[in-house]
Structure 1
Amino acid sequence: MKQTAILFFCLLILFPVSVFAHPGTLDELGGHFHNSDCTYLLHEPTALAKQAKTKEELIKLIQTYNGNERCKRNLTAERIDLDGHTLGKKADDASLRLGRTYEAALVECVDGDTAKFRVNGHVYTTRFLFIDTPESTIEVEPYGKEASQFTCSRLQKGDIVLETDGNTLFDKYQRLLAWVWVDNRLLQEDLAKAGLVEDFYDYGDYQYESRVREAYEEAKRNGAGMYGGRSVAENERASSDTKRESPSDTKREGAPNTDPQAEEEMNQTDRAPSREQEAAASERSGHPIVYTLLGAAAAAAVYWLIRQLK
């Protein structure tokens, strides 16, 4: 009886940990609660979150779109961490145009296909055009860390030029869409050749699609990266990489001459689902069962130890 009571007590302690552990997903606003103190952290504000001009307006959106009922009950402005973002500020695209190239400075590596750059005095979260690498932030997929390390290593060592392309500057999450050139090499092409691109997405017709697809097929033929287990270093030693020339700093012939108002209208067009949307769906589906299983295993271990000491 005594052992049973101790086991029940252990379960009472471990169960809240399993229920309220942070699941590592973002809601539809691009944020989440820290369940330890119910602080709301706005990681990557979505277009929906950017509708709020004050923290009070953001609280109303959180009450609607976040599923953590426990933390929402006592949410105040003091418990919101904007993570450096400014409410009510839209992406400033007045200085950017489609079909142009811009010198950029790395601000922060995010993952294999996303980074933050400073362009013309503004910081833009930038989604690399056309490619999709394995996830390494919200969840870690196979080769996600390798893709992230590959991208960050290149960006930290070279001169960066961003090239806008397609029919819109930003996706629905206000991320700048661009080709990324590092020391006159197309980063998307190098990622594909290293076997670190798992899929493609299309927001329009892009100038370098065929080059990236050819590199992707080459990686599959050579068994590079995720397509054969060969490491990035081994793939680079085996490949005869040819340097590509960077695009000129002038506007490409035939590139659309889009005015800011038209670009803003195009930004409102729905795009293909992103990983943020998938993460939000995961948030609504509930917390991972793994924490509960770990808690049960720990309780069983305590019970076994008590039996041994009896």
Structure 2
Amino acid sequence: MLLFCLLLMFPISAFAHPGELDELGGHFRNGDCVYFLHEPTALAKQAKTKEELVRLIQQYNGNEKCKRNLTPDRIDLDGHALGGKNGASLRLGRTYPAELVECIDGDTAKFRVNGHVYTTRFLFIDTPESTIQVEPYGKEASRFTCSRLHQGNITLETDGDTLFDKYQRLLAWVWVGKRLLQEDLAKAGLVEDFYDYGTYKYESRVRKAYEEAKRTGAGMYGRHAASERVGGGSETMPKTTPGTKPQTGKETGETDHPPAFEKKTPPSEPSGHPILYTLLGLAAAAALYWLIRQLK
């Protein structure tokens, strides 16, 4: 009976998990049936327009409900260019003028560079969450970043060992005028952690600003903010001894942003309802047990 229960629950949970990519390298978001092209395969790169991509999705994706009413405006290319040209004009160690397309949160935004739109993960820093999960000072970090980016005069500077992370987000330092946004966020006390998985050009500047924020009690490091974090239960920030390297998500296993070289479920993808599936499995097992008793 227990084995039957496990077999019954497994396909339900697997079916409900939205994170698997189809043959094109994308998937539908179940909530609103928007199609995200995360990792375009050679098949997806055959499409030159969104209309052609719609036809490919309808042919190769198994989500009958969502693909039935799919239109080009419900496709999110996630920064990719159709025709396999994504990133072709970008190089490591270069600077590029950028235009803000969308401010997402404290450490992520979409920019148009050389005619292409790139979802961009700010190098080195991690700010509190403010999208799916709202953490203390997440909204403040998002407002700070969006306010700066709307000033314009934005330049992206590529650095490190790779242009993109495994979610095809461009990795870059973000300059607004002559100011480094990562440094300003750290100085304002809105950086909670670092993703130190490489050697980056401005690490020391950002760390110095981070230590200054802790010393002066800026942002989340003020006394009032610290008491809020301590009283926040699961939202309490990890403690960092002054003068030492703060723990990263890799060390704690508790991070809401996937680092550049670790693949985790993208935040935009819901995780499902495992408790509901467990209850459904147990109910089905009980019904089967009752039926067997009735047949004896």
TM-score w.r.t. the length of structure 1 is 0.59
Q: Give, in whole Å, the separation in 1 of the partners of 2:166 and 2:159.
A: 16
- 2-structure distance, mates of 1:49, 1:113: 27
SS at match of 2:140: helix
Is 1:46 the counterpart of 2:46? The answer is no
- Change in 2 beyond 3 A, CA 1:91/1:127: farther
Tell me: CA distance 1:222–1:101, structure 2 relative to 1, closer, same or farther (3 Å). Answer: same
1:82 is matched with 75
Residue of structure 2 equivalent to 1:159: 153
Alignment correspondent of 2:217: 223
Please state whether the residue corresponding to 2:162 is helix, strand or coil. coil
CA distance in 2, matches of 1:91, 1:171: 17
1:135-150 alignment runs, 5 A limit: 135-150=129-144
Instruction: Write out aligned runs for 1:256-267 (5 A).
Output: none
Shift of 1:102: 1.0
Residues 1:172 and 2:162 are matched in the alignment: no
Percent of paired sites with the same residue: 58
Aligned to 1:291: none
Contiguous gaps of at least 5 residues in structure 1: 1-24, 64-71, 232-269, 289-310
Deviates more, 1:193-202 or 1:147-156: 193-202
CA RMSD of aligned residues (A): 3.3
**Which among 271, 274, 285 is matched to residue 283 of structure 1?**
271
TM-score w.r.t. structure 2 length? 0.61
Q: Which amino acid aligns with 1:114?
A: T
1:271 corresponding residue in structure 2: 261
Aligned length: 213
More RCO (CA 8 Å, sep 6+)? 1
Deviation at 1:139, TM superposition (A): 1.9
Give the aligned partner of residue 127 of structure 2: 133
Q: C-alpha displacement at 1:121, in angstroms?
A: 1.6
Q: Partner residue of 1:119?
A: 113
Amino acid at match of 1:206: Y
SS at match of 1:196: coil
- Alpha-carbon offset, residue 201 of structure 1: 1.1
Match of 1:33 among 30, 42, 48: 30
Equivalent AA in structure 1 for residue 271 of structure 2: E
How big is the shift at 1:27?
3.5
Structure 2 unmatched runs, 5+: 1-16, 21-25, 48-52, 226-259, 277-296
